[in-house]
Amino acid sequence: MRLTRWTHACVTLERDGRRLVVDPGIWSELQALDGADAVLLTHHHRDHADVARIAASGVPVWAPRGAELGDLPRTVLDPDQHLEVAGFAVTTVGGQHAAVVPSQEVCANLGYVVTAGGESVYHPGDALAVPEQAVATALVPLQGSWLKTVEAITFLRELRADRAVGIHDAMVNDRARAGLNHWLATEGDTEYHWLTPGTTLGEPSRPRVGQLRLVVEADDLDHAVAFYRDTLGLPVELDLAGEHGERVVILDAGRATLELSNPAQVAMIDEVEVGRRVAPPLRLALEVDDAAAATDAAVAAGAELVAPPTRTPWDSLNSRLAAPGGLQLTLFEELGR
């Protein structure tokens, strides 16, 4: 069974061409409902049920008895039911939402154990009811007005699932999420995963940004292009000229990463590579096969040598150059590969 996690509490489960969506709320991505054969709602709160979007999709809905979903057509469910939904075996668990504040009436909430092809996934909704049957994959809430971290950890231990995936986290920032993930991973007594929204369990995470492009204004564009294209070997992907003297050349620089450093890190790297503080706020680093040869070629092509190739404590050979386009450039060779 293929499990894809979306923002907050929404997941999609796929098996043999059928697709079941659980809790597509107002914060979950629009594509979560694409190709859906059925929707399961644990309860009616908007972070779990975007009623307007679900209604517009026309996908059949199953929800707890008493869920306040307006005129949304749905099949009503009760606790401890066993049924088939879109080819998936479903068992309902629990019955009530966890308490939030004394003055608020507790609403209906059903957890769902979904089974297909011998695999099972448990989505508890906004409660910590433990199903009688064993589950392979448990979805564990990270944060909520109704939840304490120790309760989430205890819940995870009681489930004894083979693995767990964190959900219900759209109301916390990255620092809080990192802390919660740490405690669930170290204290939950099971294999724990947190998936970037849109990522499928067991498949590599895909960054939301498809390409990192560094845009540089060069007074002498031809010289800059020749340096990066001919000397450093970056092939031209695109070369466009406008009607009024405009021109842009895009070069393929291989794999791109964004390295964010605090001032202490920048100062340390400067000390290792150069011996003094020289880096501007933006520095370009390019990995090469032979740092010494690439540095010599760069200097011959007009770059100014700031520091010769130096072996670093992390086993790389790094040089520093002032390069065309006004860029400070590090050429580095990974020696341990």
Q: How confident is the model at residue 131 (pLDDT cuts 50, 70, 90)?
A: very high
Residue 186 falls inside a structural domain: yes
Q: How many domains does the chain have?
A: 2
Same domain, 130 and 274: no
Confidence of residue 14 (pLDDT cuts 50, 70, 90): very high
Mean pLDDT of the chain: 94
Residue with the bigger pLDDT between 212 and 181: it is 181
Would you say residue 7 has pLDDT above 90?
yes
Asked whether the beta carbons of 229 and 253 are under 8 A apart, the reply is no
pLDDT of 206 above 70 = no
105 is a domain residue: yes
Query: Residue 10 pLDDT > 90, yes or no?
Result: yes
Q: What percent of the chain is predicted at pLDDT more than 70?
A: 98
Domain that holds residue 256: 221-334
Same domain, 256 and 135: no
Render pLDDT for 16-57 as a digit per residue (tens, 0 to 9): 999 999 999 999 999 999 999 999 999 999 999 999 999 999
* 120 to 3, 63, 110, 154: CA distances (angstroms): 10, 19, 16, 20
Whether the per-residue pLDDT at 74 is higher than 90: the answer is: yes
Name the pTM for this structure: 0.65
With respect to residue 16, please indicate whether it lies within any of the assigned structural domains.
yes
pLDDT at 260 over 90: no
Query: What backbone phi and psi angles, to 5 degrees, belong to 106?
Result: -75, 130
**The predicted structure's pLDDT at residue 209:** 67
CATH number of the domain enclosing 253: 3.10.180.10
pLDDT score recorded for residue 98: 96
Same domain, 30 and 175: yes
Residue range 94-111, pLDDT digits in tens: 999 999 999 988 999 999
Do 259 and 174 lie in a common domain?
no
Most confident of 44-48, 172-176, 268-272: 44-48
Residue where a domain stops, chosen among 200, 231, 263: 200
Looking at the structure, tell me whether residues 56 and 162 fall in a common domain.
yes
Amino acid 328: pLDDT: 95
- pLDDT (0 to 100) of residue 207: 65
Q: CB–CB of 29/5 below 8 Å? A: no
Q: Do 45 and 149 belong together in one domain?
A: yes
CB 144 within 8 A of CB 128: no
| Residue 210, in any domain of the structure | no
- Say which residue, 64 or 175, is predicted with more confidence: 64
Asked whether residue 66 is assigned to any structural domain, the reply reads yes
Which band of pLDDT confidence, cut at 50, 70 and 90, is reported for residue 193? very high
CATH, residue 105? 3.60.15.10
> What residues form DSSP beta bridges with 122?
113, 138
- Asked if 58 and 125 sit in the same domain, the reply is yes
